[in-house]
A and B are shown apart, each in its own frame.
Chain A
Amino acid sequence: MAKGSAVAIDIDISRRLGDRVIAARFTAGPGLTALFGPSGAGKTSILGMVAGLLRPDRGHIRIGDRTLFDSATDLPPEARRVGYVFQDGRLFPHRRVRANLVYGLDLAPPANRWMSLDEATRFLGIDHLLDRWPQSLSGGEAQRVAIGRALLAGPEILLMDEPLSSLDAARRGDIMAVIERIRDELKLPILYVSHDRAEVDRLATQVVEIGE
């Protein structure tokens, strides 16, 4: 189940949003790369561009030997193999936990899958939640399910947007441990957005400052 590829990330993008210009330029190796900076610096927009939900005005996004975006290429989100764990979990409210988890698994070509439902639920400790509705989950449980859903779609890289921000202190520790295991056991490259120094110090292999 280990992902285990040493994917290099090469990003150089910019996009005008209103009167601001969101720009980022960095390369990253395996491990967890933290995009660190104050709120409102455009960190979430950068993840959106990597995921294909927001189109950069110019630049390129390369993951390993695949180009996701440049002047000639613009892969749609579903073809990027970029997993996204949103700040608010964003689980589908009309599907039970099990159906949320297998949403991306069912869509992934078998060759791209690297984790089974059993492995994911054991890895995240969520077997007992499978028949629950998302509305009945606590913040920490919802975030685990959101992580599982993203992993099961067979991504080559995982984007995480302040996944701890809605959790209390005890749950933050739990989820941080999960993120470390994704980084170290699954060896899945992670782009991690945060404005919290302590989080970044504990988790990051590499830090990219996103300025004003």
Chain B
Amino acid sequence: MLSAEEWGIVALSLKVGGLAVLATLPVAFGLAWVLARYRFPGRVILDGLVHLPLVLPPVVTGWLLLIAFGPLGPAGRWLESWFGATLMFRWTGAALAAAIMALPLMVRAMRLSIEGIDRRLEGAARTLGAGRWHAFRTISLPLALPGILAALVLGFARSIGEFGATITFVSNIPGETRTLPLAIYSALQVPGGEAMVTRLALLSVLLSLGALILSEWLVRRTHGERQRRGD
């Protein structure tokens, strides 16, 4: 059904998407927590920065990454001198671009579920002998779980669909940065590439639809279980 080359593209996309969401998860949760729980000067600016990739043209995000992580950029020079590593034209760079683009979606999903937690439950836990960290781990975190799972799935779907920032930042290198959308774009440029485009496009639809259904199911499962418990 799929050629070896196409399987390679799928595998690379899953690898990029997987790294992107796993690396973003703790950052996104921290941001969601801070935005949901604290009022501080600069909160509006932080909120705006988190949401920026959602509204900015992706090519601009890619260009900004290029400036920051290029050989002359501050982040790029730092990575090079400390780890001898570069993200430019590497699959890890594609994961970074995907992570930045997935961040706002993930923060939004988790923030909603954190805002839904009754904070007085944490107070109750404290009076029962739980320190701050223990109350967070045993009360807040489990109650935020549906949002965290939904964020993972949505972020993953967003990551494997990333195009503009990726192609600008890490280019379109077969086997290294050519993920599904980039491969579809490339196949469109080649005469006779329509069959490959069709297969990859169908695959994209299946992956995205699967992710949406899975995230909906996860949220429902947790909610539904609570409902049933109420009977």
Contacts and interface: CB of A to CB of B under 8 A. Distances in A.
A82 B139 CA distance: 20
Given A93-B121, A149-B128, 20 more contacts: A51-B127, A52-B127, A53-B126, A76-B126, A77-B123, A78-B129, A78-B130, A82-B127, A84-B127, A86-B124, A90-B121, A90-B124, A92-B139, A93-B226, A103-B130, A104-B130, A107-B134, A133-B229, A136-B230, A153-B127
Q: Interface residue tally of chain A, by bracket?
A: 20 to 34
Contacts of B5: none
A83 B142 contact: no
B127 A92 contact: no
Contacts of B125: 92, 103
B74 interface: no
A92 B121 contact: yes
Interface string B211-230: 00000000000000010011
Mostly helix, strand, loop or mixed at chain B's interface?
helix
Interface string A128-158: 0000011110000000000001100100000
Interface string A60-78: 0000000000000000111
A76 B138 CA distance: 18
A104 B143 contact: no
Contacts of B134: 107
Contact of A76 (B131, B142, B143): B131
A107 B131 CA distance: 10
Q: Which of B120, B126, B129, B229 has the most CB of A within 10 A?
A: B129
Given A77-B126, A78-B126, A104-B128, A86 B120 contact: yes
Interface in A66-121: 76-78, 80, 82-84, 86, 90, 92-94, 103-104, 107-108
